[in-house]
Chains A and B, each alone.
Chain A
Amino acid sequence: MALYAVILMYEIPCLINYNCQQANDLRCIIPTKPRCVSSYRMKRVKGDEDACSSSSEGPTESCKKVRKLQPSKEKHQEEEEETDVDLCEFGFDWALLPQEILLNIFQFLPLLDRAYASQVCRGWNQAFHMPELWRCFEFELNQPASSYLKATHPDLIKQIIKRHSNHLQYVSFKVDSSTESAEAACDILSQLVNCSLKTLGLISTARPSFMELPKSHFISALTVVFVNSKSLSSLKIDDTPVDDPSLKVLVANNSDTLRMLKMSSCPHVSPAGILCVADQCHGLRELALNYHLLSDELLLALSSEKHVHLEHLRIDVVSENPGQHFHTIRKSSWDAMLRHSPKFNLVMYFFLYEDEFGPFFREEVPITHLYFGRSVSKDVLGRVGLHCPRLVELVVCANGLRPLDEELIRIAKRCTQLSAIGLGECEVSCSAFVEFVKMCGRRLSQLSIMEEVLIPDHKYNLDEIHWEVSKHLGRVWFPDMMPTW
């Protein structure tokens, strides 16, 4: 019996590596009648070598094999009597499979397959309801009119609320672009009264539909979780109408445990609101917010003695309307932050018009990851080279028509940690690019450059540059190519 379990465990992970479609084929390994399972297994055990080799061939191969076996499974169903004889010979009873092994196996199965398996026998049915299997749940709320993806079945949602809500600890909601879905998420949230969540994620998969809800409705649902949880550690509520008073509730109930807070693009929160979180939640290590919430006070609060080291700070700098003015952050505040948390990552996403960069990169900033979503001028990139000594990763989606030669070389020279760079609609001359790569050398672990970016010059054409760059990187490198249709 142990042998079967081992083989089951052995095969399932290698299938799971593959995509959902193929993983669904697992169903043929665990059909509803245990007898079929065993008869099918018998065969496999006899061909033990076969089982071993299939795993080393990678996921597809083994999937194919499983598929091929499907018809034979049906055949066995027809030959049930014969299988029964087999079973007696081996003296096997699936109901005796120890719960911990069953749990282990169940953990690898998609919910639907666990549900099928739960119909096998009383023992498996009990296993289906083990709290360990219900700690983590992702509610998918989609409407057929607005999404291509399936939704979590309403009956399942009901059952979870009824039987497992006290087991839930790690919960996320994936919501499509319709308001109904966001509303449904709030309805579920407000029913989670007897559970203590550690993680809550509200994820808009298309348009930010939580923003379309009446604010009060959203807030009252969210605060149910805040009040009942008491030990919330991770919270991801980007693009939602969360506001200052609800953050106060969060802090009042979860200040000791909160470690991660992601709230990019939450327009109803004020700098004072987030400051309150930073002041009270000393365990906060990871924070994502928009630039308008970033203040000197916030940085000082995060770098207070009581506060643990910050690990990640993500800032989205977004322009609401062209020509917007942005405040500046004092260098001394960044310095304080850096003294307090010398290893923290500062990730900044810029979505600005070219003329709005005035206040940025005038003084040293401890940015590690920098993303320019819109066109950015040569001048700004020049300043990046001067003022971002901790830069690890740089992505420039677009730039004007003039090549970025000097800017890149300056960045290579001054940003000695730089290990990843991505260039979209930009231009760089081939020789400047080779020079850049030569200066950075092998520490450039990612180099994603559109083929169009590189302008051939007297020294290198596009075929030569691939060799030259590969040489300096110590690995084979190609520019990213686009299909010519």
Chain B
Amino acid sequence: MVGNTIHWFRKGLRLHDNPSLKESIRGADTLRCVYILDPWFAGSSNVGISRWRFLLQCLEDLDASLRKLNSRLFVIRGQPTDVFPRLFQEWQTSQLSYEYDSEPFGKERDAAIQKLASEAGVEVTVKVSHTLYDLDKIIELNGGQSPLTYKRFQALISHMDAVESPAETITAEVMRKCATPISDDHDDMFAVPSLEELGFETEGLATAVWPGGETEALTRLERHLERKAWVANFERPRMNANSLLASPTGLSPYLRFGCLSCRLFYFKLTDLYRKVKKNSSPPLSLYGQLLWREFFYTTATNNPRFDKMEGNPVCVQIPWDRNPEALAKWAEGRTGFPWIDAIMTQLRQEGWIHHLARHAVACFLTRGDLWISWEEGMKVFEELLLDADWSVNAGSWMWLSCSSFFQQFFHCYCPVGFGRRTDPNGDYIRRYLPILKAFPAKYIFDPWNAPESVQKAAKCVIGMHYPKPMVHHTEASRLNIQRMTQIYQQLSCYRGLGEHRAQPAETTANSLKIRLESLEESKQTPITNLIGNNIMCFFYSGRGHAAVKRSSEDLTPGGSNKAQRQTSN
């Protein structure tokens, strides 16, 4: 029997560690690698030009690599549900393979395709390779529920089977018996489109700081490991002015698009650690970047509302302000805080910012200063940030806005002080906001405080050439910490003041009164429930919906799920 295979690329834009592709080649006579792209979607979607450019470069690179194997990439314009039935017929397909997609939207799409395939008598091969683990197994280990804290997640990970080794790279040897039928008009029909073709204006577009593609990813991985080996330090590098800039060893966009396999990265790190540290076993913290990503994928996989506040069971309902004007100022880097504006400018220009810079701007937009919903910030990142993935982007925004996952909320990044600590000279600001170039370091983070003479000498008068700060940070952070406290208190002392249903089980009028009083922050409640009395306490003693889990999780950080269930019974 002749076996005609299609491999469908979505993420996982690589030939190394691509188990579903490898599996489908085995025993197949022909292989066609397709990428399906909806040109209409490109123009209208929320994804910005940098991300499209990155994607197209990935596809170009993939096509180039496939050429070396006497194959090609087939970029097909259309919608998967329309495209596949046609392809199945035209190419007399017997097998379809693709990488497992853990995100709710992807699962839904894949289920539809799977159905079409089975109707057409096409066998489907799906393998997990975008994440280290099979996420459903992590959830199973946790008793069927997604872990809600990173610590809990780490505890679960330590009970999982070892990460599977990367699959063998697709080489000419692997492709030996498998050919790709390529027609003469392949380039007319299936070439990777250009940005112009997708309707983007490319005039004046600077060259990419982060060039896409598997080849680039693997070069970077080598560089990344060389540098780690050279400093022989496996702790998270401390942040300084330099780490704010795009680094030639940065990997996050490549992991996002799957140009780099997270498992390859994982094993290379492990090997290096063992080599440098003389065979001692590596700590979990070595894989921090990979595990955070894995954590957010795990928490999101069964939650289609993960990117929303409303109807999202892991998200605290916070009365954010709607303020399109303020949002636009933030998104366009016109807040009047050079530190925030420089970061947003870098994001827009290059598509990447340091994770602490992300914290700074996210905190500023949400709980720190503007009190605007994290959903709005998430959308802006989705447009601009190369490594923004649905799960990781939404998860990080919930995390940073203190909407979920229970981190300390008492601390807000100062849009002046944080920048000054990181980059005392202000070089970063000067690089991205040249208008402030001539300001002395002393004033560059708060130029509105500079005397008029200094502003004039710098040829930049605040309020004229550069905006005045859009908020009074001290006042805003005072108010916002108050609001946050209010919200977390309600979660902890009394479930849902807004729901009018906290009345007690006792029916006597007197006990009712007492309970009501306690609910109104009066005398009957312990200290921790009183406003501000215990600044951090309520989120520890939290008995709000998701907080329940946190407290029980924290009791048994290393414990297995079984142990945890027993204690709670």
Contact = CB atoms under 8 A, between A and B. Distances in A.
Given A22-B313, A288-B531, A198 B292 contact: no
Interface stretch (B89-97, B329-337, B497-505): B497-505
A121 interface: no
Contacts of A371: 410, 532, 535
A147 B478 contact: no
A100 B511 CA distance: 14
Given A104-B507, A148-B309, A286-B530, A199 B522 contact: yes
B179 interface: no
Contacts of A111: 499-501
A282 interface: no
A482 interface: yes
Interface of B: 145, 150-151, 235-236, 238-239, 252, 283, 285, 288-289, 292, 295-296, 309-311, 313, 317, 319-323, 355-356, 358-359, 371, 373, 387, 392, 395-396, 399, 407-408, 410-414, 417-418, 421, 449, 474-475, 477-479, 481-483, 486, 495-501, 503-505, 507, 509, 512-513, 516-517, 519-523, 527, 530-537, 540, 543-546, 548, 554, 557-558, 568-569
A424 B530 CA distance: 23
B387 A485 contact: yes
Contact of B540 (A265, A373, A446): A446
A316 B548 CA distance: 31
Contacts of A177: 321, 323, 371
B518 to A, nearest CB: 10
A149 B319 contact: yes
A482 to B, nearest CB: 6
Nearest to A401: B421
Contacts of A316: 478
B500 A18 contact: no
Contact of A462 (B235, B289, B407): B235
Residues of A contacting B: mostly: mixed
Nearest to A448: B408
Contacts, number: 265
A322 B516 contact: no
A103 interface: yes
A108 B474 CA distance: 40
A238 interface: yes
Contacts of A22: 313
A2 interface: no
20 contacts: A17-B543, A18-B545, A20-B498, A20-B499, A21-B311, A23-B496, A132-B512, A148-B320, A170-B517, A176-B319, A199-B520, A199-B522, A205-B483, A286-B530, A314-B533, A322-B449, A393-B537, A420-B536, A462-B235, A484-B355
B159 to A, nearest CB: 16
A212 to B, nearest CB: 14
B145 A60 contact: yes
Given A207-B321, A401-B421, A448 B475 contact: no
Interface in A11-50: 13, 16-23
5 closest pairs, A vs B, by CB?
Answer: A424-B411, A107-B503, A19-B545, A205-B319, A206-B321
A172 interface: yes
Interface stretch (A220-228, A329-337, A345-353): A345-353
A137 interface: yes
A420 B412 contact: no
Contacts of B497: 138, 172
A367 B319 CA distance: 32
A461 interface: yes
A483 B417 contact: no
A429 interface: no
Contacts of A401: 421
Contacts of B359: 482
A95 interface: no
Given A146-B322, A369-B534, A463-B283, A238 B482 contact: yes
A425 B477 CA distance: 15
B252 to A, nearest CB: 7
B193 to A, nearest CB: 29
A391 interface: no
A347 B533 contact: yes
